[in-house]
Amino acid sequence: MGVMRYSHCSAAHGDDLYVFGGYRGLKETLDVVQKFNTRTQQWTFVRPMPEPMAGMACASFLDNILLIPKFSTSMFIYNVQSDTWSESSTKLPQMMQHIAAGILAD
């Protein structure tokens, strides 16, 4: 991984593992996103997050990865096929921290 970080989140999609944001050092919040391909064993950078974030939760569903930032009612969606970001029109009912996310499917 080219960027040392902590308080990031990660989600798997297909053969890839995505690592989102986090902190570098004591005060720098990152918007960096990296993808690790398990077949090629290579790290690459993909489109940065819309804003720097750390301590968020993320979960993969279909071709999207949902990010839920701490202390926010917003949710962001990263589309792995188009390498694009959007903000969900759905808002959380309240701000949270120390969160986790997962997708349950039949």
DSSP β-bridge partners for residue 86:
77
Q: For residue 70, is it within any domain?
A: yes
Q: For residue 63, is it within any domain?
A: yes
Output the CA–CA distances (angstroms, integers) from residue 93 to 42, 74, 75, 90, 101, in the order listed. 39, 10, 11, 9, 15
Q: For residue 37, is it within any domain?
A: yes
Q: Which two tokens stand for residue 89?
A: 């029109």
Is it the case that residue 95 has pLDDT exceeding 80? Answer: no
Q: For residue 59, is it within any domain?
A: yes
Q: For residue 47, is it within any domain?
A: yes
Our count of domains for the chain comes to 1
Q: For residue 54, is it within any domain?
A: yes
Count, residues in the chain? 106
- pLDDT (tens digit per residue) in 4-46: 899 999 999 999 999 999 999 888 999 999 999 999 999 999 9
Host domain of residue 50 = 9-87
To the question of pTM greater than 0.85 for the whole model, the response is yes
Q: What are the residues whose beta carbons fall under 8 Å from the beta carbon of 75, sequence distance 6 or more?
A: 66, 67, 68, 69, 87, 88, 90, 91, 92
Amino acid 106: pLDDT: 55
* Residue-by-residue DSSP string for 12-45: EETTEEEEEEEEETTTEEEEEEEEEETTTTEEEE
Q: For residue 73, is it within any domain?
A: yes
- pLDDT (tens digit per residue) in 59-94: 999 999 999 888 777 889 999 999 999 998 888 777
Question: What average pLDDT does the segment 35-58 reach?
Answer: 95
